[in-house]
Structure 1
Amino acid sequence: IVVLTAMGLVLRDRLPLGLAVLAGVGLELLHWRRRWVGVLVLGILFADTTAWTLSATVVNALQGEELIRLLIPASLSAIAGAGVIAALVILVLRRDWETGGRPVRIVMLAALLFFLVIMGIGAANAGRAIATPAAGAIVLLTENLAFATSELSAPSGQLTVEIDNRDVWWHTFTIDALHVDVQVPSSGKRQVTFNAPAGTYTFYCAIPGHAAMGMKGTLTVK
């Protein structure tokens, strides 16, 4: 809950704040007589969080984002991954996680090892990410699972677009007709340069479900 809240406040992203509230509800449900309901809610939350933050963490580390931008998603993916395993142990094996003993220590050590390895990879690749936009580049922001604008325009010829991702999750900037597809890590920036003949093109985020949620727009080239 603390990590999710910190991510939401630092990145000004409503989604982590909503997940923090859901995690709080799950913890309260653990006090119910049917404790498995709370475990199930938390397990689903942990699984969803792991799926998204793990991919964002790996992309951040491999593409050389600043370590400060890697710290929160790496922490969250490690914690959520441990939570998924804990929920499975309780629901499938019918074991009380609080008295798990050695399995608990193994999972916690694995989560810590994952965190340290990811941070090490990030440190080795630090500085590879683009710090400033190229001259004349179109800057496109993503925030709260949406592009800041759905309409872009540019003259025909070589075009550079910088995507500034301010979300917790990673996104893509994809234009099928121009064979453009760039991955943008959580809290990261990426530039892509391509030739664009005159015409109208659709750009979107190729992450499953994101375009359906509104992450798409039109690029008009004159």
Structure 2
Amino acid sequence: MSVETSLRARKKERTRRTIRLEAFRLFREQGYTETTVEQIAAAAEVSPSTFFRYFPTKEQLVMADDQDALMIEALAAQPRGQNPLTAVRRATEAVYASMSAEDAAFEQERQKLLYHLPELRSAVGLEFQRSIDLAAQLLADYTGRPVDDFEVRVAAGAMVGAMLGIVTTGPVDATKVGHALDLLEAGLPFDDDRPTSS
């Protein structure tokens, strides 16, 4: 990659990040529904057409998950031969450990918006399917199976369902994700002696 290409990529990432940060600030101050794309663009000092080059809709601005690429990289780095759910848990721990406090807070705010705002309910269905497709691709890459393999798809759906089950209970972190994956890997035991997660 040339210096010019690298500079251009960094500038694009800065612009994208600024748009999202300003959007979330406006959402906090005046509400998601009340905030317009024009207001977000003005706050980020870009034109509305520039906004739409980065995000096709206001909903996409919230739906975009910056952790996807990090998760793909972290899972690729996991040694082969371990249970795929263990590999995913360890990759998740690595991703959360690498996140700055600012990035972790942003992701928690994004999840809160996505899963708690009635205006985004229809977007959640699309996010749910996208997450299953991504999880299936991660598992397929890790195990060497086809992405449409029945067991891969079932495991991907179970993982995403587990995340959806905990995302509305409060901020999601590596500990909660790990516990959810441990429960799946153990066959979802309901042990009365097991301490409950908070």
- Normalised to the residue count of structure 1, the TM-score between the two structures is 0.28
The structure whose residues are more often helix, as a share, is 2
